[in-house]
């Protein structure tokens, strides 16, 4: 369902399985590694710019792991829609619209996108960074044999030729338009 169910520190075998314990432990570890602190100028809801200092080490670590497992388990187009929903959801919550019908709808779409998001991600925390070392999932869409250039399979690199030509058409037309525009035609 896309929710973290456990965290294990491979260095000392500390394990946390309850949501608050997971988040608190990630905050503790992330804070020690200077993870998740930002200093930004942002646009407030009423239009003014303001400076914001935010620190959420646990959220930063969990988000990095979650996005990684999403990339591994979500279809490309679903992931693209989900990224847009994330932005929409953030704006709705920021503006205080948690109980609005549109935010309820957004949450239901995000929840549906998480149906196949499951697995584990190994991360390393170091000097302000969250580094993904590996991931695995029983519902992974990654197929090493299919994408390998070394193994004969269902996909051949020559299969891309038609795809490339079709996509090039719009670029050629755009180039033609720019050239005509520059020459006054």
Report yes or no on 45 lying in a domain.
Answer: yes
Q: Do 155 and 99 fall into the same domain?
A: no
Encode pLDDT of 66-83 as tens digits. 999 999 999 999 999 999
Q: Do 134 and 173 fall into the same domain?
A: no
Q: Do 115 and 170 fall into the same domain?
A: no
Report yes or no on 2 lying in a domain.
Answer: no
Range of the domain at 177: 143-185
Q: Do 167 and 100 fall into the same domain?
A: no
pLDDT score for 153? 65
Tell me the C-alpha distance between 122 and 4, whole Å: 13
- Asked whether residue 18 carries a pLDDT value surpassing 90, the answer given is yes
- Asked whether residue 160 carries a pLDDT value surpassing 90, the answer given is no
Lowest-pLDDT choice from 45-59, 115-129, 167-181: 167-181
Report yes or no on 155 lying in a domain.
Answer: yes
pTM value is 0.82
Share of the chain above pLDDT 70, in %: 97
Q: Do 54 and 128 fall into the same domain?
A: yes
Q: Do 74 and 148 fall into the same domain?
A: no
Residue 82, SS3 per DSSP: helix
pLDDT score for 106? 99
- pLDDT band for 167, please (50, 70, 90 cuts): confident
Q: Do 126 and 147 fall into the same domain?
A: no
- Identify the DSSP state of 2: -
pLDDT score for 150? 73
- Domain count of the fold of the chain: 2
DSSP lists the bridge partners of residue 41 as 51
pLDDT score for 163? 86
Encode pLDDT of 102-158 as tens digits. 999 999 999 999 999 999 999 999 999 999 999 999 999 998 877 776 767 666 778
Report yes or no on 44 lying in a domain.
Answer: yes
Section 74-100 average pLDDT = 97
């Amino acid at each position: 369902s896309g929710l973290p169910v456990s965290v294990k520190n491979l260095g000392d075998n500390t394990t946390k399985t309850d949501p608050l314990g997971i988040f608190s432990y990630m905050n503790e570890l992330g804070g020690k590694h200077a993870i998740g602190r930002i200093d930004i100028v942002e646009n407030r809801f009423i239009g003014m710019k303001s400076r914001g200092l935010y620190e959420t080490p646990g959220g930063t670590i969990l988000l990095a792991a979650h996005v990684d497992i999403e990339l591994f388990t979500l279809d490309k187009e679903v992931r693209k829609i989900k990224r847009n929903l994330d932005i929409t959801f953030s704006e709705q919550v920021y503006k205080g619209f948690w109980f609005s019908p549109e935010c309820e709808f957004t949450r239901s779409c995000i929840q549906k996108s998480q149906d196949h998001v499951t697995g584990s991600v190994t991360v390393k925390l170091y000097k302000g960074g969250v580094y993904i070392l590996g991931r695995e999932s029983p519902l992974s869409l990654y197929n090493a044999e299919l994408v390998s250039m070394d193994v004969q399979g269902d996909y051949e690199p020559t299969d891309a030729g038609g795809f490339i030509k079709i996509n090039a058409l719009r670029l050629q037309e755009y180039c033609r338009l720019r050239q005509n525009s520059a020459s006054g035609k």
